[in-house]
């Protein structure tokens, strides 16, 4: 089979690249094909919390998050498909450390200069936004009312379905894909179903990318670590009257369960920088996901297949006292499961997006360092522009360049 662009990997990034590429290519003369060895979303994207927020410390990332949020929020209206975007708001608890507060304020200022709706909050305001939260009187935080989350599988399915509607094809369960290189150029992928030939091959293979590149003789500083998350029953959302009573009139941005929402979240997404935890309600499953912020000391995986799916209660036992100290209501909530997953890290915790200089025609999109599901629309757009030689407006090419590590 022949394609103009062949995408390997059907996670958030691969499906988003397929969509943006298909929009720009003639399906008859410039086909776009995505191949996935498992099912769509069988990598990190199927296990993500998919929190959507614009609270990045780096300007290019904050700008992309702002643009991506518009895509998620407008998807239903624009294309009639729902990615499960819930606007619960995102509350960052920065604590009392003056240096951390100074950084928070600087970041909020930068984000606001990009047009992002976010504000610094006092302890009193945080308590009003998030009834039941325990914060020190001197603590500061920030609140982003438009943040929340999407449903990752619906998002991936939507990207893939839209890509197909523009003429792309998506093939799952394609076994043993191997990148073909001829005369130093990527020319396609050999699989058990035969060869897929294409002058542009995109590795959107998440945690598998480092291994694939190594087999091609390319070294990139990618590390894959194993992360655990735990789940608790979700508390009941606060009664609307209680939230109203608790809120001062001068706080114009606040978490309020939507009265028309049949399955409201119990509270905003909480990014607790003090304890290194994040909380994201999953109303449909009546549970709250608790994960960690920061990946220091996590066990490294040589090969993604070696991920141990058996999860002990160690992470939960560590997280519980911190969680209960922050949101005491969780002391009454029953545990309901754990999961293990992969995080693909780069040394500067920024993704790698672009052409592999050692192998022209081969592109990588990986290293999202535990974030950035939310950036998928901008990444897809930017990479499609790059491959097709169009002006690259959706991402900052230099910022994500695979060559940036060689230059250090
Ligand atoms: C527990 C957890 C929580 C997270 N929470 C958030 C969050 O709240 N917000 C946020 O923005 N981000 C979050 N992230 C990060 C985010 O999920 C990832 O950055 C994102 O999902 C990466 O998507 P991807 O498409 O690059 O990779 P993946 O989803 O891993 O996709 C790679 C795909 O490639 C396929 N593949 C691999 N090798 C081959 C091959 N040789 N041939 C064919 N197919 C192949 C795999 O089967 C897989 O489907 C979280 C991640 C994890 C693990």
Residue 371 has a pLDDT of 85
Each residue of 102-150: pLDDT tens digit?
999 999 999 999 999 999 999 999 998 898 999 999 999 999 999 999 9
Each residue of 55-99: pLDDT tens digit?
999 999 999 999 999 999 998 888 888 899 999 999 999 999 999
Mean pLDDT of 319-324: 96
CA of 136 to the centre of ligand 1 (A): 36
Taking the C-alpha atoms of residue 368 and residue 96, their distance in angstroms, rounded to an integer, is 29
Closest CA to 342 of 53, 64, 6, 9: 9
Domain segments of the chain: what residues? 5-46+153-221+348-405, 87-148+224-345
Q: Is 237 in the pocket of ligand 1 (CB under 6 A)?
A: no
Q: In what order do the strands lie in the sheet with 169-171?
A: 169-171, 32-35, 5-8, 200-203, 362-366, 352-355
Residue 239 has a pLDDT of 74
Each residue of 193-227: pLDDT tens digit?
899 999 999 999 999 999 999 999 999 999 999 99
CATH superfamily label, 5-46+153-221+348-405: FAD/NAD(P)-binding domain (3.50.50.60)
CA of 204 to the centre of ligand 1 (A): 9
CA of 45 to the centre of ligand 1 (A): 4
Q: Is 152 in the pocket of ligand 1 (CB under 6 A)?
A: no
CATH superfamily label, 87-148+224-345: D-Amino Acid Oxidase, subunit A, domain 2 (3.30.9.10)
Q: Which residues contact 29 (CB under 8 A, 6 or more apart)?
A: 4
Q: Which of 9, 192, 214, 301 to mutate to test the pocket of ligand 1 (most atoms within 8 A of CB)?
A: 9
Identify the band that residue 407 occupies on the pLDDT scale cut at 50, 70 and 90.
low
Residue 172 has a pLDDT of 97
Query: What is the model's pTM?
Result: 0.94
Q: Which of 48, 83, 173, 222 to mutate to test the pocket of ligand 1 (most atoms within 8 A of CB)?
A: 48
263 has pLDDT over 90: no
Each residue of 169-187: pLDDT tens digit?
999 999 888 999 999 999 9
Q: Is 148 in the pocket of ligand 1 (CB under 6 A)?
A: no
Q: Is 144 in the pocket of ligand 1 (CB under 6 A)?
A: no
Q: Which of 52, 90, 92, 206 to mutate to test the pocket of ligand 1 (most atoms within 8 A of CB)?
A: 206
Decide: 6 and 202 in contact? Cβ < 8 Å.
Answer: yes
| Lowest mean pLDDT, pick from 1-5, 185-189, 294-298 | 294-298
């Amino acid at each position: 089979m022949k394609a103009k662009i062949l995408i390997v990997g059907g996670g958030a990034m691969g499906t988003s690249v397929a969509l943006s590429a298909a929009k720009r290519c003639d399906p008859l003369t410039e086909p776009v094909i995505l191949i996935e060895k498992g099912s769509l979303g069988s990598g990190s994207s199927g296990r993500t919390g998919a929190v959507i927020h614009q609270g990045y410390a780096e300007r290019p990332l904050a700008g992309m998050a702002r643009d991506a949020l518009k895509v998620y929020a407008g998807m239903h209206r624009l294309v009639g498909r729902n990615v499960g975007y819930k606007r619960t708001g995102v509350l960052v608890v920065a604590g009392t450390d003056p240096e951390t507060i100074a950084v928070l304020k600087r970041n909020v200022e930068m984000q606001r200069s990009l047009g992002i709706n976010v504000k610094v909050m006092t302890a009193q305001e945080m308590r009003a936004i998030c009834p039941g939260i325990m914060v020190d009187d001197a603590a500061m935080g920030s609140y982003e009312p438009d943040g929340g989350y999407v449903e990752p599988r619906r998002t991936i399915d939507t990207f893939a379905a839209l890509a197909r509607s523009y003429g792309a094809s998506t093939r799952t369960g394609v076994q043993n894909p191997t990148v073909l290189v001829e005369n130093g150029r990527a020319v396609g992928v050999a699989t058990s179903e035969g060869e897929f030939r294409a002058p542009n091959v995109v590795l959107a293979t998440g945690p598998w990318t480092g291994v694939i590149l190594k087999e091609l003789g390319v070294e990139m500083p990618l590390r894959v670590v194993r992360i655990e998350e735990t789940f608790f029953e979700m508390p009941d959302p606060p009664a609307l009257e209680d939230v109203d009573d608790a809120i001062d009139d001068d706080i114009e941005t606040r978490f309020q369960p939507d009265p028309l929402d049949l399955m409201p979240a119990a509270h905003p997404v909480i990014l607790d920088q003090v304890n290194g935890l994040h909380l994201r309600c999953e109303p449909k499953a009546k549970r709250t996901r608790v994960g960690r912020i920061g990946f220091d000391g996590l066990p490294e995986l040589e090969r993604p297949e070696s991920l141990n799916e058996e999860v002990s209660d160690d992470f939960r036992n560590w997280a519980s006292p911190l969680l209960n100290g922050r949101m005491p209501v969780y002391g009454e909530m029953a545990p309901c499961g754990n999961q293990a997953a992969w995080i693909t890290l780069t040394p500067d915790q920024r993704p790698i997006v672009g052409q592999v200089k050692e192998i022209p025609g081969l592109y990588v999109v990986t290293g999202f360092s535990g974030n950035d599901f939310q950036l998928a629309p901008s990444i897809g757009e930017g990479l499609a522009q790059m491959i097709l030689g169009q002006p690259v407006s959706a991402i900052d090419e230099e910022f994500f360049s695979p060559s940036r590590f060689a230059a250090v």
